[in-house]
Structure 1
């Protein structure tokens, strides 16, 4: 604003030099026109410029006011954005949408993640639940990386070189049920993440060759399927043995009744008319 005042002063001095302005007009020129300097205390006594057409005098006014304050009042206040909110994202929730998808909808804040051109970090296998005789549920959490799919790798303890693998799982999956396991057997299971750059890597400790990572901190976990409990065996015997005993008794009784009928049939006398000539021939043969 000081530069604007300086420019106005230079223009006035130039006009004064050309004779267009003066220090004050004649007294009779101001009789019908009271000076603004008397009306406005902020107007400083200044130069007077004579109009070439009307031959009147116009005062060049200089203000002592603060130009910066007037400029600040005229300008609008900047808009301050409201506080940003973190996205409602749980990396361990099953079928959870990615944080980037939530951000596109709600404009929330997401934690930093690596892109598609970087190999994913290791997912965290949180726990193995509902372990039965031939199945188990595996739960895991997503890494801070862009993930296209997941895959479970598992093997019998002591046979790390021979392992099985699941089909690629959705990037929203956080739970999978392993089936077809052996009863009463120990297993090692690991979760792996994949994107265009490749698969997340397993370390020596993950394979179990240099000690295991505590459960819930790494991509792998160990579990043992259950075997038939003694109580279940006792219940089975208590139900099956009476049935077998009853069946054996029924077979024995049936056999006894069959034999008795045969004996009774052999002891019964033949019923019918006797032939006298047959009896005499039988007695004669016995005598001879």
Structure 2
């Protein structure tokens, strides 16, 4: 009986002291277990700005990671325009210089290591004034190539071709017969251009103003002569009709009149 009471007393004492034991064990477990950390969410509203990082991120790191800056694409605010370069005018400033000065665009050119394209003949005109009167002027336009000079070849001539500088667009030739073929050839260090249908032309001089005036004079004279002849015929016909009427009237007014004589 005494031992049973002792056992009950020990059990009661153990139950009373158990909350302290549980508290000690929980505290020990909490101190020995690793801390639980939760991942932090970073909100970024843009790239390349230091103000876009949250305060928590700056607390945990001494410096933010390097973010590549966005690539900037240049925007053309003005429309591209061609350079004021006319390949048919001579002694012009090179188009490459104009492009550097104003940022304009030049037409594409074949390189100096390639034979040039054929130029284009613009006109073959007779010269009527000045010291070269009686000669023929040939005019051409430059090709889209690097050119060091030009040659003008006349069909049927045994002499050397006439040579002109790269900045020139015209040259004078001796008097040509109608139908003579003339070709313009572009030259550079790589070679020369090949003749084409637009780099060659046959001389066909336009009619001069003197010829036109002479033709008008002849036409006017012929027209005036025809008018005089027609007017003369009309007047002669009218005169013949009036004479016939007058003769018939005189015969009816005189009864003794007869075409066979007097009665």
TM-score, with length taken from structure 1: 0.45
Greater C-alpha Rg: 2
Greater share of residues in strand: 1
TM-score, scaled relative to structure 2: 0.49
